[in-house]
Structure 1
């Protein structure tokens, strides 16, 4: 028999739904507040959580993160008086099992609860044994690999995960930094407490303090009610700060104080609130090396970096690429109902293996999902099935290197013809530095621009001026 938790600020709605669900054979608990609901989930496992998208002290996406932190195996169905398509798509993409409009249609609710997804879930939990899984089992499969570098990352995870260290996860876009953060949380003693993920790039300078630490009613224009911040919601658990370099200097100062004193103060408030949270941060920058240009506080870096976990790019994983391709192919085939697993043509596989994957695992996943929509009559994925950027911009890397090396020599001849005045000497030195960095990053111009600390368009302009192919 399924346990269901109904969370809604209207007691009448909770009672009505409880009466209906109990009548058809479910065990039902109700709650009108997010913190109380989270406490119930700590004490009892609920197969399904039915909750309003807009609770008074937690929006749907925030409450969903709290649920996943406390009870990641519970299915979540959102309800709302006004359906917002953007919210629906976002929640379903994040893993919600349904989104129903109010007033609830009983037949529609039963159809969702008795659907195939929940039947599979019931079978899954009949033999549930999550706590006995090893750390490697808990690692999301698309990040597991057999390469040397992947095993080193996994070794580091096993070491730092069970501790209470603050961790900075460094890695390029699309390498799965948030997945690693969730794993660290799951293998720690905080696994049964909330995991709150915060995209610092989406926090405006004006509202960042309110979102992170909360605010009191009347603290500023528009603060019509009391708000609980992410840190207070995650008390006892983990806060994941993605792209932390985007935080403004005043918020960095407040964060530093929170870490040092283990207390926060709400915007417009005078009372200090004691907190106990583990901070995991993520960045695609070297925060220490670029603290001056990024405006990131050096003292905050040292407070956050008790352990720095470097996540490899997809290209650095080498032979793991084939494993990831097979995984995403099988997963997408099941999702699309493809009975026989498609096969890649030799040309398509050559393209996948030679491509530099600037978007890393996320780009690979999307490329495979796209390719599965264009399988030919022989159940094959051809080169034409792959995204245009892979088809058109890709050449075998040996050819790319040959072209770039030859054009670099052209650039040398270009400068040898110039007058040896101060400007020419400076340009020649600049050219040499760009060539050095290009070779160092294997001619990946995006990485080269980052390493040179210039905009990518600026690099392209310089390459054109120096007669280097771009």
Structure 2
């Protein structure tokens, strides 16, 4: 049932409108005070507000801003005994749904209400369709992954993406923080507006203000013309600030003001320019911890951290590495104009699997791009095509890679009665065989799957089902 709030200084008008609209199937509440109306809207949002333009304690334009601040999705219909054309034009341009002259024609009002409801439904469906199309498109452009950590990230991304929240993306170097920032932008209502990516580590302290906010001609030595800053470029869209911890305290303060006031001022300028941007930041540091050591403003951290998205390392994503390998092989083959996507040899796959990937996804991508230049006549990439650091790892579990714990958890130990059960005995024998083979091949799961004559994904599934840590 559609809900309507009627605000008018004449009680008789409120009662008359409530009686008529209630009969037409609407839920209606009334009040004669603008302040009371705002209190009502704070407690329970209404779909439509019908109000007199001249209330005793609030002019129409002021009251309109108050309504939108507490109930932004409400449609506002103004009424007035005397129509002022300037007021009508101004309020319609500001976003009011309609402006009616008193006495109101009941049939005309219902027609406007139904038309307004129909337009909102179409807009909602349009946004929903665009979101679904974008989400489907993104599946072919990005690797989502099937690991538990990857699913957690995707779940959180789908929650925060359609909102207008400020987001901090935390993750090690090379984990794909900018890719996730672009995904957030693409599934938001700002997708048709600019996405501006800024590497804060490349900005000098002297020129950062000019880069962010622009400058006027003659503002400083070398300012020979006007410059548009990043915030103006991103207006209506999203600005992505990578490695934001590198910004100086002066720029942090200017950034905080811009975000709070939603205005910027160019270097050397006096005019305040309104901005509407969504801000996404990325860091490989703990910003809150850094704020405690006076390196980063704590108030800026809390302004930016409406939502924190944590990106796992490649090693933490487990079996997702094979999806990344297939994805980068296919993309690189398309780029090189190859008709058939190559495959890695068993030895090469083993090296890719056991390497510890300190550079995460970026390092894996570059290794595959390099290897794709050396494909043999069988459309295969051998281990010799991989970078030296990966070949020298040689399955020896170098670097941060640890020998897996192949023991069962205590909860998985079988009791004497269970050991008599044929299914349990078979399961125990299967797990012992898997552990034995994994040790033989130095925990190379690709080779282990081949030796066991099962698919690699089946091996991962069995390791997970049997609760064997890997």
Answer whether TM exceeds 0.5 for this pair.
yes
2: CA distance, partners of 1:175 / 1:394: 24
Q: Deviations over 1:303-356 (max 9, x none)?
A: 000000011111111111111111111222232233343232221111000011
Instruction: Report SS of the residue matched to 2:287.
Output: coil
Instruction: Report SS of the residue matched to 2:288.
Output: coil
2: CA distance, partners of 1:287 / 1:399: 27
Q: 1:341 to 1:264 in 2, by over 3 A?
A: closer
Q: 1:142 to 1:391 in 2, by over 3 A?
A: farther
Instruction: Report SS of the residue matched to 1:348.
Output: helix
Q: Deviations over 1:386-420 (max 9, x none)?
A: 011111245432897789xxxxxxxxxxxxxxxxx
2: CA distance, partners of 1:167 / 1:399: 33
Instruction: Report SS of the residue matched to 2:289.
Output: coil
- 2:146 maps to 1:156: no
Q: Deviations over 1:185-225 (max 9, x none)?
A: 11111112111111101111000000000111111000111
Residue aligning to 2:324: 324
1:297-446 counterparts in 2 under 5 A? Answer: 297-397=297-397
Q: Deviations over 1:7-64 (max 9, x none)?
A: xxxxxxxxxxxxxxxxxxxxxxxxxxxxxxxxxxxxxxxxxxxxxxxxxxxxxxxxxx
**Deviation for aligned residue 1:142:** 3.7
Q: 1:177 to 1:399 in 2, by over 3 A?
A: closer
Q: Deviations over 1:405-437 (max 9, x none)?
A: xxxxxxxxxxxxxxxxxxxxxxxxxxxxxxxxx
Say what the alpha-carbon RMSD is for the aligned residues. 2.2
1:50-89 counterparts in 2 under 5 A? Answer: none
Checking the alignment, whether the CA contact within 8 Å between 2:355 and 2:393 is kept in structure 1 is no
**Deviation for aligned residue 1:252:** 0.1
Instruction: Report SS of the residue matched to 1:143.
Output: coil
Instruction: Report SS of the residue matched to 2:217.
Output: coil
Checking the alignment, whether the CA contact within 8 Å between 2:321 and 2:353 is kept in structure 1 is yes
- 2:276 maps to 1:266: no
2: CA distance, partners of 1:310 / 1:136: 23
Checking the alignment, whether the CA contact within 8 Å between 1:342 and 1:379 is kept in structure 2 is yes
Q: 1:191 to 1:227 in 2, by over 3 A?
A: same
Residue aligning to 2:110: none
Residue aligning to 1:147: 147
TM value normalised by structure 2: 0.55
2: CA distance, partners of 1:269 / 1:344: 58
More off after superposition, 191-200 vs 330-339: 330-339
Q: 1:294 to 1:285 in 2, by over 3 A?
A: farther
Instruction: Report SS of the residue matched to 1:397.
Output: coil
Residue aligning to 1:239: 239
More off after superposition, 376-385 vs 322-331: 376-385
- 2:276 maps to 1:276: yes
1: CA distance, partners of 2:130 / 2:173: 30
2: CA distance, partners of 1:143 / 1:343: 18
Checking the alignment, whether the CA contact within 8 Å between 2:131 and 2:188 is kept in structure 1 is no
Q: 1:400 to 1:297 in 2, by over 3 A?
A: closer
Q: 1:321 to 1:402 in 2, by over 3 A?
A: closer
Residue aligning to 1:219: 219
Instruction: Report SS of the residue matched to 2:285.
Output: coil
Instruction: Report SS of the residue matched to 2:221.
Output: coil
Structure with higher Rg: it is 2
Structure 1 stretches lacking a partner, 5+ long: 1-128, 404-470
**Deviation for aligned residue 1:262:** 1.1
**Deviation for aligned residue 1:269:** 1.2
Q: 1:372 to 1:294 in 2, by over 3 A?
A: farther
Q: Deviations over 1:368-395 (max 9, x none)?
A: 1111111223332111110111112454
Q: 1:358 to 1:293 in 2, by over 3 A?
A: farther
Q: 1:348 to 1:181 in 2, by over 3 A?
A: same
2: CA distance, partners of 1:402 / 1:165: 38
TM value normalised by structure 1: 0.55
2: CA distance, partners of 1:263 / 1:399: 49
**Deviation for aligned residue 1:181:** 0.8
Q: 1:251 to 1:398 in 2, by over 3 A?
A: closer
Q: Deviations over 1:229-257 (max 9, x none)?
A: 11112111111101101111100000011
Residue aligning to 2:165: 165
Structure 2 stretches lacking a partner, 5+ long: 1-128, 404-470
